[in-house]
Amino acid sequence: KNQVEQSPQSLIILEGKNCTLQCNYTVSPFSNLRWYKQDTGRGPVSLTIMTFSENTKSNGRYTATLDADTKQSSLHITASQLSDSASYICVVKVGDSSYKLIFGSGTRLLVRP
């Protein structure tokens, strides 16, 4: 069964600190892995898309890593800001020709001043 699991479910950090969110997946065939940020009451917004051959990808203070051998990904947030408070969703696309995405249930991050 295709699954995407994220940890932790929720996380509280102080402003300015770094954090790392985890994603494990069992999806076959694998096409790409995405990280989305979802602010409360809004739709998800893409942060990164990584294909099989990409190990690391950055978008400002967000850095995603992908280990295709262990089927793990992480999202590292550097020097957190209050605006980083949101849910972060790991998503894996099934196969290159399909439209199917497998969504994780997300990690809810709260950044406190």
- The residues, ordered by sequence, that sit 6+ positions from 73 with a Cβ below 8 Å of its Cβ are 22, 23, 25, 33, 35, 50, 64, 65, 66, 67, 90
Question: Site for other proteins (CB under 8 A): which residue of 43, 53, 60, 113?
Answer: 43
* Of residues 6 and 65, the one with the C-beta less far from other proteins: 6
* Of residues 17 and 42, the one with the C-beta less far from other proteins: 42
CB under 8 A, 24+ apart: contacts of 98-102: 98/31, 101/34, 102/2, 102/3, 102/4, 102/25, 102/27
Asked whether position 10 contacts other proteins by CB under 8 A, the answer is no
Residues 54-93, mask of contacts with other proteins (x by CB under 8 A): -----------------------------------x-x-x
| Among 13-21, 58-66, 77-85, 103-111, the segment contacting other proteins (CB under 8 A) | 103-111
List residues binding other proteins (CB under 8 A). Answer: 4, 31-32, 41-46, 49, 51, 89, 91, 93, 96, 99-106
